[in-house]
Structure 1
Amino acid sequence: MKKSVVIGALGALAQETRLDIFRLLIQKGPEGMPAGDIGARLGQPSPTMSFHLNQLRFAGLVSSRRESRSIIYTANFKTMSDLLGYLTENCCGGRGELCAPIAASGCESECTPQQMTPTAKKNRRVSV
């Protein structure tokens, strides 16, 4: 992972609302969440949410897709996993095995949207 990408991702997360959005989307997993629901959950108006979601998308931390009339946002688990890997790459004075549990805790393989089964995709809730 390039240092400039790491700086962009950490910079995007260094703001309270964006950190709250990202953590919420991590909790939602590959299903993601409609933009309006994110705003309602966090008590933020649409223009504010739009700004922060765009900042997170620009940093590569979230992606969006259109479903009917809703825009669904999903955390980019690969970027999160790569970021954790970058941060722990040389930890503990070169004894990376001490940080292995942190790096291994990335949930990319379990949470990526491509891993969703057709049944899970069919059953997800879509707000209009």
Structure 2
Amino acid sequence: MSENDILELEQLKESFGDDPETFIAVLEMFMIEVPNDYEDLKNKMSIEDYYASGLLAHKVKSSYRMLGMEKETLLLQEIENRAKRKEQIEEIPRLFKQFQDGYEEGLKLIMRTIKSLKRR
């Protein structure tokens, strides 16, 4: 991922047309809500509350899906599935670590996208 990469926002375009102001509003809301949910998820993971982690993963997943961030969406989906089914829960910490490894870079990508849209 380069410093010039921005999100394609295909999902948002399908939902809202090509409306940069709406995109900015959605992205800014993401930057407010997701970090709070991420902290909650991190806390639940630290105490091995995988049921609550699965519920939070479900909530956060929809935000990533809306932005077309597939890797994050898939990792959160796997956490949610394993927590919900109570199967292979020993894999949940590894999946969360993979999500965490890209979390900050994902936020930077969103911020670059917001700046790019504001310059339009």
Does TM-score exceed 0.5, indicating one fold? no
Select the structure that is richer in helix. 2
TM-score, scaled to structure 2: 0.30
Considering Cα pairs closer than 8 Å and 6+ residues apart, tell me whether 1 or 2 has the greater RCO: 2
Larger Rg: 1
TM-score, scaled to structure 1: 0.28
